[in-house]
């Protein structure tokens, strides 16, 4: 037996060892299959707005739009808010159509939507005074 081990052969395994290995593999496979189902904690990136590069600037613009959308959602009836969103997106898409092929286009449209939202928020605030 010692000679077999020296040349890379192993001694014969017992039947219990042969049956234990597939169960271990099944457990390992189960862990990998269930892994995507485990919740993942997403952390917001540590970005100082307005950002230092295109990715950060886009992130900041998106966060700003989310905030202004949320504020409008709280102040407008749902149907009117949806009409407003549809109209501003169409207007901003037309306004920045010359940049459509550029990488800056999405950021320009999101910024336009946010600016229009904020103007409406100011108007709504002025009306409540």
Query: Which structural domain range is residue 95 located in?
Result: 54-127
Instruction: Classify residue 47: in a domain, yes or no.
Output: no
CA atoms within 13 A on the CB side of 90: 6
Residue 8 has pLDDT above 80, yes or no: no
User: 40: phi > 0 → left, psi -120 to 50 → alpha, else beta; which?
Assistant: beta
- In contact, 90 and 113? CB cutoff 8 Å: no
- In contact, 72 and 120? CB cutoff 8 Å: yes
Instruction: Classify residue 42: in a domain, yes or no.
Output: no
Residue-wise pLDDT for 32-87, tens only, equals 666 655 565 667 668 889 889 888 999 999 999 999 999 999 999 999 999 999 99
User: How many distinct structural domains can be found in the chain?
Assistant: 2
User: Is residue 23 domain-shared with residue 81, that is, in the same domain?
Assistant: no
Instruction: Classify residue 98: in a domain, yes or no.
Output: yes
Instruction: Classify residue 24: in a domain, yes or no.
Output: yes
User: Is residue 109 domain-shared with residue 69, that is, in the same domain?
Assistant: yes
User: Is residue 25 domain-shared with residue 62, that is, in the same domain?
Assistant: no
A 10 A CB-CB count for 63 gives 15
Q: How far apart are CA 1 and CA 4, in angstroms?
A: 5
The model's pTM is 0.63
């Amino acid at each position: 037996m010692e000679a077999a081990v020296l040349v890379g052969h192993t001694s014969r395994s017992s039947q219990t060892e042969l049956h234990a290995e597939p169960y271990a593999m099944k457990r390992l496979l189960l862990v990998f299959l269930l892994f995507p189902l485990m919740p993942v904690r997403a952390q917001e990136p540590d970005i100082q707005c307005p950002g230092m590069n295109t990715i950060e600037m886009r992130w900041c613009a998106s966060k700003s739009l989310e905030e202004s959308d949320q504020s409008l959602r709280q102040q407008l009836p749902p149907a009117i808010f949806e009409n407003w969103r549809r109209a501003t997106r169409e207007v901003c898409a037309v306004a920045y159509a010359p940049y459509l092929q550029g990488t800056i286009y999405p950021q320009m449209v999101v910024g336009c939507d946010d600016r229009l939202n904020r103007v409406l928020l100011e108007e709504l605030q002025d009306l409540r005074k």
